[in-house]
Amino acid sequence: MVSVFDHGLLYGDGVFEGIRAYNGLVFKLKEHVDRLWESAHTLMLTIPLTKAEMQSAIVATLKKNKLRDAYIRVVVTRGVGDLGLDPRKCPRATVFIITDKIKLYPESLYQKGLEIISVATLRSHPESVNPQIKSLNYLNNILAKIEAINSGYEEALMLNTHGHVSECTGENVFILKDGRLATPPTHVGALRGITRQAVMELGAKMGLEVKEEIMTRHDIYNAEEVFLTGTAAEIVPIVKVDNRVIGSGKPGTTTGKLLKAFRELTRRDGLRF
C-alpha cells in the first residue's frame, strides 16, 4: 500500500528508474542503480538501502514474479509525511519495485519509422528542475506529449530555452550525417540515457565518429538519419520531423544496423538471474 500522505504522490517528490530484463538478464543494472542514486543525491533524498541491496531486491522481485523478460520500475519517494512540502516531514523514503510483462512496441514502428513534431513546451531550464534528474515530476514531458497528441503525433521533439534540441518526452535523440553520429549534450536538458550511452559505444565500434553536439531543428531536418533511444523503445527510426522528410523518408540503414547490434547486446550483456 502507498499512503495518500506519501510525498511522492502529493508533490512528485521522488525519483525512479525504468529498467529491462531480456531473457533472464537485467540490462545495465549497475548503470540504472547508479543513476537512481545520482538523482536522489541531488534531491538530498536518502535511499534506505545500499546499492547492492537494491540490485538484490530487483532480482528477487523478478524471480518472485517468474519473469524472464520484464519491464522493471524502481521508485523511491520522499516517504510519508504531513501535508506541506518540507521534506523534513518525511523520516523515511518509500521504496517499491514493480516488475511487469513488457509491452513491446509494434514491429511496424521499426519497419516504417515514426513521424514526430516539435512542440511549444520547452524543456525545463537545468536550474529549474534539471532534466538530468529522473524525478517523479514528469509534467514538463507530459505537457509536451499532450501537445504532440493534440496535433496527431505520438511523440514530441523538445527544445530548451535557447531553441536547442534537447530530447523527446521519454527518449534521447540522435542524428547521423556524413558518417558522424551526434546527440545533444546532457546540459542542454537531456537525460543521460543508458540506451544513449550504449548506442554511442556501438556506433564507435562500427567506426562512426560519435559526438555530443548542440543542435537546432535545422540540423535535425537536414540529417541523413534521425532516431530515438530509450529503454522501452530501444531504437526508433524517425522518418519525418515537423513534416520535413528525413533522408530517404525510410528508416536509415545505419539506424537499422545499430538496432540489430543493440538487440544482440541485450541478449548477451547483463546481470544473470
Binding site for ligand PXG (CB under 6 A): 18, 141, 167, 170-172, 191, 193-196, 229-232
Nearest distance in Å: CB 8, ligand PXG: 15
Taking the least distance from each CB to ligand PXG, the nearer of 3 and 132 is: 132
Taking the least distance from each CB to ligand PXG, the nearer of 55 and 141 is: 141
Q: Do 28 and 229 touch, CB atoms closer than 8 A?
A: no
SS3 162: coil
Taking the least distance from each CB to ligand PXG, the nearer of 230 and 247 is: 230
SS3 47: coil
In whole angstroms, give the CA distance from residue 61 to residue 67.
9
Grid coordinates given for 93: 523514503
Taking the least distance from each CB to ligand PXG, the nearer of 81 and 266 is: 266
Instruction: Dump the DSSP string for 226-262.
Output: EEEEETTTEEEEEEEETTEEPTTSS--HHHHHHHHHH
Say which of 30, 89, 134, 257 is annotated catalytic. Answer: 134
* Alpha-carbon dihedral sign for residues 66, 233, 270, 39: negative
Grid coordinates given for 237: 527510426
Nearest distance in Å: CB 63, ligand PXG: 21
Taking the least distance from each CB to ligand PXG, the nearer of 18 and 126 is: 18
- What's the Cα-to-Cα distance from 246 to each of 150, 154, 167, 221, 237, rounded to whole Å? 22, 17, 17, 6, 10
* CA end-to-end distance (rounded Å), the chain: 27
Nearest distance in Å: CB 160, ligand PXG: 13
Nearest distance in Å: CB 138, ligand PXG: 7
Nearest distance in Å: CB 41, ligand PXG: 17
Q: Do 77 and 93 touch, CB atoms closer than 8 A?
A: yes
In whole angstroms, give the CA distance from residue 95 to residue 130.
22
Closest residue to ligand PXG, judged by C-beta, is: 18
User: Which 8-state DSSP code applies to residue 131?
Assistant: T
Nearest distance in Å: CB 17, ligand PXG: 8
Taking the least distance from each CB to ligand PXG, the nearer of 71 and 80 is: 71
Asked if 134 is an active-site residue, the reply is: yes
Give the burial class of 98: count Cβ atoms within 10 A of its Cβ; 0-12 exposed, 13-18 middle, 19 or more buried. middle
By annotation, the residues acting in catalysis are 134
